[in-house]
């Protein structure tokens, strides 16, 4: 084990202990420790350390340090992997929307998230449609949130809506980022009340075509498809729960999404029925 590996292992243990104790003073001291020297083949591990520090600084809303560590991480990994950094980076700004002290800065958080995700070079992702979907979903969520006219982003026209092969659905180690952000596209369809887009998205992730081709209502198709997907992919369930908790905080930016979540939370099935019936 190299010196850096020993340091990284010790760092992770101390970080977990201090986080559990909610010891913010000593946690700051740990985060500000200089990173020791490392070998060239340890660059990815060092990038992971920078990302971990960035996530911690996000908890304190110390965004200059958050940005600094993500910038450092980018310099340590191949450009073809930068999209994963930008997803993490942008999503942390969205997570800050749930912090009570930052609610008045919601527009700024959306703008920061959009600025970061816009830096992804989509030309490098042409052969990976699931990476493209993950990036596009987060990008669209921020763009629609900030838009006054609430129009569907034009890049949705060029995306591949082919159904996900079952071998990928069933492989818990594959396309994690896709499932971790795809509900943002569904949220966009709900906000815009775009029934055509919503059905295309449901067909992508459905594991039971009979449900979508049957005579059921859009609401029943939506509910069954989401339930099936959440059962099979924990990343999707976590993302749904995140948007569920976020919607009331961003109701000024996503009024229709918030209405849907309000009906869902209060089990107002009549409201849900008419909400989905109005989706064209």
pLDDT surpassing 80 at residue 102: no
What pLDDT sits at residue 222? 95
Q: What is the number of alpha carbons within 13 Å of residue 108 lying toward its C-beta?
A: 7
User: Which range has highest mean pLDDT (118-122, 124-128, 175-179, 246-250)?
Assistant: 175-179
Tally DSSP H helices, then E strands, for the chain. Answer: 15, 0
Residues shown for the chain:
280
pLDDT at 54: 96
On whether residue 197 sits in a domain, the answer given is yes
CA distance 228 to 84: 26
Distance CA 111, CA 94 (A): 10
- Who's near 242: CB < 8 A, 6+ residues apart? 95
Asked if residue 158 belongs to a domain, the reply is yes
Specify the pLDDT at position 213: 84
What whole-number distance in Å separates Cα of residue 42 and Cα of residue 118? 28
Q: How far is CA 90 from the centre of its chain?
A: 8
Residue 124 in any domain: the answer is: no
Distances 149 to 1, 37, 140, 141 between C-alpha atoms, Å: 56, 51, 14, 14
What b/e sequence results for 12-29 when a residue is b if at least 16 CB atoms lie within 10 Å of its CB, and e otherwise?
A: eeebeebeeeeeeeebee
Asked if residue 95 is part of any domain, the answer here is no
Q: Which two tokens stand for residue 253?
A: 């930016």
CA angle, 151 as apex, 149 and 152 as ends, to 5°? 165
Exposure of 172 in the CB half-sphere (CA atoms within 13 A): 5
pLDDT at res. 8: 94
Q: 239 in a domain, yes or no?
A: yes
> How many separate domains does the chain show?
1
Question: What is the spatial distance between Cα 82 and Cα 86, in angstroms, rounded to a whole number?
Answer: 6
For range 33-54, the mean pLDDT: 94
Smallest CA-to-CA distance from 70 within 36, 120, 127, 27 is with 120
Among candidate residues 82, 177, 191, the one with its CA nearest the CA of residue 138: 177
Q: What is the residue range of 227's domain? A: 129-277
Please give the Cα distance from 4 to 36 (Å, whole number): 7
In a domain, 55, yes or no: no
- Reported as a pLDDT band with limits 50, 70 and 90, residue 105 is confident
User: How much is the mean pLDDT over the chain?
Assistant: 93
- Please check whether residue 189 lies inside any domain of the structure: yes
Q: Is residue 109 part of a domain?
A: no
User: Taking Cα atoms as reference points, which of 197, 213, 211 lies closest to residue 161?
Assistant: 197
Q: What is residue 127's predicted lDDT score, i.e. its pLDDT?
A: 85
**What is the C-alpha separation between 270 and 203, in angstroms, rounded?**
25
pLDDT bracket for residue 148 (50, 70, 90) = confident
């Amino acid at each position: 084990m190299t010196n850096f590996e020993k340091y990284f292992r010790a760092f992770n243990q101390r970080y977990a202990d201090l986080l559990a104790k909610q010891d913010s003073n000593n946690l700051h001291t740990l985060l500000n420790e200089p990173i020791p020297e490392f070998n060239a083949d340890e660059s990815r591990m060092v990038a992971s350390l920078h990302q971990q520090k960035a996530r911690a600084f996000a908890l304190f809303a110390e965004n200059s340090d958050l940005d600094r560590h993500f910038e450092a991480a980018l310099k340590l990994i191949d450009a073809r992997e930068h999209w994963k950094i930008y997803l993490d980076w942008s999503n942390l700004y969205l997570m800050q929307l749930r912090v009570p002290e930052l609610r008045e800065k919601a527009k700024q958080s959306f703008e920061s998230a959009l600025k970061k995700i816009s830096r992804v070079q989509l030309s490098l992702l042409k052969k990976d449609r699931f990476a493209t979907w993950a990036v596009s979903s987060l990008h669209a969520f921020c763009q629609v949130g900030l838009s006054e006219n609430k129009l569907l982003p034009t890049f949705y026209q060029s995306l591949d809506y082919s159904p996900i092969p079952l071998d990928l659905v069933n492989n818990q180690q594959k396309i994690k980022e896709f499932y971790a952000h795809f509900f943002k596209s569904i949220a966009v369809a709900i906000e815009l009340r775009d029934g055509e887009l919503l059905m295309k998205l449901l067909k992508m992730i459905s594991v039971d075509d009979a449900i979508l081709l049957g005579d059921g209502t859009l609401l029943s198709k939506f509910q069954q498809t989401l339930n099936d997907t959440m059962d099979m992919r924990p990343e999707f369930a976590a993302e749904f729960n995140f948007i569920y908790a976020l919607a009331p905080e961003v109701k000024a930016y996503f009024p229709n999404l918030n209405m849907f979540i309000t009906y869902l939370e209060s089990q107002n099935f009549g409201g849900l029925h008419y909400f989905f019936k109005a989706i064209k």
